[in-house]
Amino acid sequence: MAYHLLFAMFVWSYWKTIFTLPMNPSKEFHLSYAEKELLEREPRGEAHQEVLRRAAKDLPIYTRTMSGAIRYCDRCQLIKPDRCHHCSVCDKCILKMDHHCPWVNNCVGFSNYKFFLLFLAYSLLYCLFIVATDLQYFIKFWTNGLPDTQAKFHIMFLFFAAAMFSVSLSSLFGYHCWLVSKNKSTLEAFRSPVFRHGTDKNGFSLGFSKNMRQVFGDEKKYWLLPIFSSLGDGCSFPTCLVNQDPEQPSTPAGLNSTAKNPENHQFPAKPLRESQSHLLTDSQSWMEGSTNPGKCKTGMSNPALTMENET
Please report the pLDDT score of residue 130 as a whole number: 95
Residue 249 and residue 148: Cα distance in Å, rounded? 64
Q: Which residue has the higher pLDDT, 14 or 246?
A: 14
Identify whether 101 is a catalytic site residue.
yes
**Each residue's pLDDT tens digit, 129-188:** 999 999 988 888 788 777 777 777 888 899 999 999 999 999 999 999 999 999 999 999
* Backbone region of residue 185 per phi and psi (left: phi > 0; alpha: psi in -120 to 50; beta: other values): beta
Please report the pLDDT score of residue 102 as a whole number: 93
196 CB-contact burial (10 Å; exposed 0-12 / middle 13-18 / buried 19+): middle
Catalytic residue among 73, 87, 101, 177: 101
Residue type (1 letter), 230: S
163 touches 114 (CB < 8 A): no
For 33, residues 6+ apart whose C-beta sits below 8 A from its C-beta are none
Helices assigned H by DSSP within 67-150 = 113-142
Q: Mean of the per-residue pLDDT values for the chain? A: 80
Measured in degrees and rounded to the nearest 5, phi and psi for residue 64 equal -135, 175
**Each residue's pLDDT tens digit, 189-205:** 999 999 988 899 999 99
228 touches 19 (CB < 8 A): no
**Each residue's pLDDT tens digit, 68-112:** 899 999 999 999 999 999 999 999 999 999 999 999 999 999 999
